[in-house]
């Protein structure tokens, strides 16, 4: 059974990451080319037998296919936080 940890909600996603990432795809989903919008979502990341919870992570959600994804920079921030 995995131990669950609650990570602090003070992970910093500032620095213009939100608008910059979505602009890269011109508000379109890279999978289906449907309309995409910026959202936030609570995510869990499993690492070394533990589960880390993050709140209000910037994500992109496609209105057409429902695909959700995060930028590489956001993933790196989450990954560094769990080390």
pLDDT attached to residue 70: 87
The Cα 62–Cα 69 span in angstroms is: 9
The Cα 3–Cα 50 span in angstroms is: 5
Using DSSP bridges, classify how beta strands 3-6 and 50-62 pair: parallel, antiparallel or unpaired: parallel
Averaged pLDDT for residues 48-65: 90
- Tell me which of 41 and 19 has the higher pLDDT: 41
pLDDT attached to residue 12: 55
**The pair of three-digit structure tokens given for residue 73, joined into one six-digit string:** 């920079």
**Given pLDDT bands bounded at 50, 70 and 90, which one contains residue 62?**
very high
Give the Å distances, CA to CA, from 69 to 8, 33, 38, 55, 72.
22, 14, 10, 15, 10
- The structural domains of the chain, ordered by start, are 3-81 (3.10.20)
The model's pLDDT over 24-47, given as tens digits with 9 standing for 90+, comes to 667 888 888 899 888 899 998 888
């Amino acid at each position: 059974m995995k131990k669950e940890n609650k990570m602090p909600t003070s992970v910093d996603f500032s620095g213009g990451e939100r608008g910059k990432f979505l602009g890269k795809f011109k508000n379109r989903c890279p999978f289906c080319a449907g309309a995409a919008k910026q959202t936030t979502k609570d995510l869990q990341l499993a690492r070394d037998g533990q589960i880390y919870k993050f709140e209000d992570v910037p994500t992109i959600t496609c209105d057409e296919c429902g695909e959700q994804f995060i930028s590489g920079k956001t993933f790196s921030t989450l990954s560094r936080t769990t080390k």
